[in-house]
Amino acid sequence: MDVLNESMLVEECPVEFRGDNPWSNYVDRGGSVENWKWKSDDKTKRTRQMDCLMAINDHSSLSNENKRAVMGWMLSEMLTEVPE
């Protein structure tokens, strides 16, 4: 993962994804993708979105706070609702 791209994601991440919010709280809890309600029906798009999400989770040099915020934001763009 390119550090420049990571820092750009952090800069662009809306402030509401920092701190207490349903999306970032879900990142903390984790969970199965089986109950996700995707915005897109395009399997290729969904695979790319998951790949990007996993890259942030597994390979980024972001702090836990920034990782949580960016991943929460990403999920909000991918899914129609916060999973239970």
| Other C-beta atoms lying within 10 Å of the C-beta of residue 45 | 13
Q: How confident is the model at residue 3 (pLDDT cuts 50, 70, 90)?
A: low
pLDDT digits (tens, 9 = 90+) for 47-69: 999 999 999 999 888 999 999 99
What is the rounded average pLDDT for all residues in the chain? 91
Q: How confident is the model at residue 12 (pLDDT cuts 50, 70, 90)?
A: very high
| pLDDT at residue number 84 | 83
